[in-house]
Amino acid sequence: MRLHDIFFYFASFFLIGVFLASFKINPAIALLLVFLISTIFLIYRLKWFAVLSFFILGGFFYCNSYGALQEQKINIPFSEKTSFSGIVVDYPQKGNAQKLTVALQEPYFGKIIITVKPYPSFDYGDLIKFEGIIKKPEPQNYADYLAKDNIFGTTSFPKTELLAENQASYLKSKLFKFKKNIILNFQKTLKPKKAAFLSGITLGERAEFSQELKDKMAKSGTTHLVALSGQNITIIVIAISSFFGFFARRKSVFWLTLLIIIFFVLMTGAEASVVRAAVMGGIILLAKQIGRVHSIRNAIAAAAFIMILYNPKILRFDLGFQLSFMALLGIVYLSPAIRKFLKMKEENGFLNWRENFLTTTSAQLAVLPLILINFDNFSLLSLPANILILEAIPLTMILGFILGIIGFIALPLAIIFSWFVNLFLIYELGIIDVFSKISIPIAEIGIIGAIIYYLLFLLFTIKYNNVQNNKNIQSNN
């Protein structure tokens, strides 16, 4: 077995072990399962697989050790009224209330979520004194969701007192302030609904979304456009790299697009979810640059392994992580299979419509079971809706960033420039409005249905990619 194959299967078995541990399976059962798998491999004389399968135990015990270590670190006074202080360590979510992620200060330790009234308004880096009761998150799935970010407690509407400002990272504070000012520039130059949507697709900010807009995006299957998960970021990155492909060489496009990804991460405050999305976009670019299947496969495995090594809880409890990788796998493997199945030309076509169609369709099909299981809502018409909108999203994002920058220089000029951005927003919001009215929902799929779906997904991909590979071999001979 070649070295890159050994690494791929090592990482894969390690991830399987982490996944099993997330269900809190008894270690004895895990050990028995690994011996069974190894024995089956030996029966079929697959010695390398028999050896590598023991790394399932490595992933299993690593995940358990990580969880135990994190819980040992926390010191939080649960279920008792007490006074405590903490620093806001993430961008506050604001609306009818403020949701703050707070790192407790001595004598306590740990991160909690605190919901407070909309006023007074708090910002990142504020040191605040609280008086209230900290509770353990409920239900369990919500507790697991928060635990992936090392958040172990919640409290609602405690008494608050601002003690000091600017107590956290100076760089992050400036980035968040820059983000806030760009959103203000959108609000000064566009109508509220359009400013909110532009803030969503460029910066992932949804605080100003009306319930009506949220409902329409859910029914049309376009909510992911403002989620800043890897699913939409990878699609947009490919579209942007395709755009620059008209003006520069392949190597230049790679570095130019990579710089845009870094800039985007900085613009959104380098939050964990955005960093993951940027990594996904970077892998797509690297895959296109390398152009070899086993290298693409190992790049994906390496990224997943590193992220899981840093925080194993994201494998099961972080939907953004799951959407990122499934969308990426769809784009890398399902996209060429669909191209072959539909007998599409290699040329991208007018405005890159073929590549955008394949990218959007393959990503949507790859994440379909995850969306159905987690949201119970997916419209059959979301594919055409996303294809139509994603043709315009990359350019809208670029124009949106330009609008935000011009707003710092001259507001009257920004107002004039906003007319061009407005045309794209009218189109995109119009598509969302139309497809929300003609939504065709799919019934709930369930875990068994998801497994069957992905098996068919795998068989389809193998069949048509092998057909293409066989043709390439014959042509070379």
What type of residue sits at position 109?
F
Identify the band that residue 471 occupies on the pLDDT scale cut at 50, 70 and 90: very low
| Share above pLDDT 90 across residues of the chain, in percent, rounded to a whole number | 31
pLDDT at 473 over 50: no
- Rounded CA gap, 339 and 358, in Å? 7
Cα torsion through 369, 374, 377, 380, rounded to 10: -20
Q: Which is it for strands 127-133 and 98-104: parallel, antiparallel or unpaired?
A: unpaired
Per-residue pLDDT band for 239 (boundaries 50, 70, 90) equals low
What would the two tokens of residue 146 be? 């928060």
Token reading at 235: 């699609």
The model's pLDDT over 157-216, given as tens digits with 9 standing for 90+, comes to 999 999 999 998 888 888 888 888 999 999 999 999 999 999 988 888 887 888 898 888
What was the pLDDT predicted at 477? 39
CB 22 within 8 A of CB 317: yes
Burial label, 232 (beta-carbon count in 10 A; 0-12, 13-18, 19+): buried
Positive or negative, the CA dihedral 372, 213, 399, 124 is: negative
The DSSP H or E segment spanning 255 is helix 250-267
As to burial, measured by CB atoms within 10 angstroms (0-12 exposed, 13-18 middle, 19+ buried), residue 304 is buried
Q: Is the dihedral of CA 27, 33, 36, 42 positive or negative?
A: negative
**Checking DSSP bridges between strand 159-164 and strand 127-133, what pairing results, if any?**
antiparallel
Convert the pLDDT of each residue in 75-114 to its tens digit: 999 988 999 999 998 888 887 889 999 999 999 999 999 9
What is the Cα–Cα distance from 226 to 202, expressed in whole angstroms? 8
Residue 330 carries which DSSP code?
A: I
Question: Model confidence over 276-325: pLDDT tens digits?
Answer: 667 766 666 666 666 655 567 787 888 888 889 988 988 888 887 888 78
Mean pLDDT over 406-425 rounds to 94
Report the pLDDT averaged over residues 413-439: 91
**CA angle (320, 326, 331) in 5-degree steps:** 120
The residue among 172, 143, 169, 166 whose CA lies nearest residue 76 is 143
Pairing of strands 93-94, 81-88: unpaired
CA atoms of 276 and 230, how far apart (whole Å) = 7
**pLDDT on residue 472:** 45
pLDDT tier at 273 (50, 70, 90 boundaries)? low
Phi, psi values for residue 216, rounded to 5°? -65, -40
Average confidence (pLDDT) over 133-154? 87
The gap between the terminal CA atoms of the chain, to the nearest Å, is 26
Residue 475 has pLDDT above 60, yes or no: no
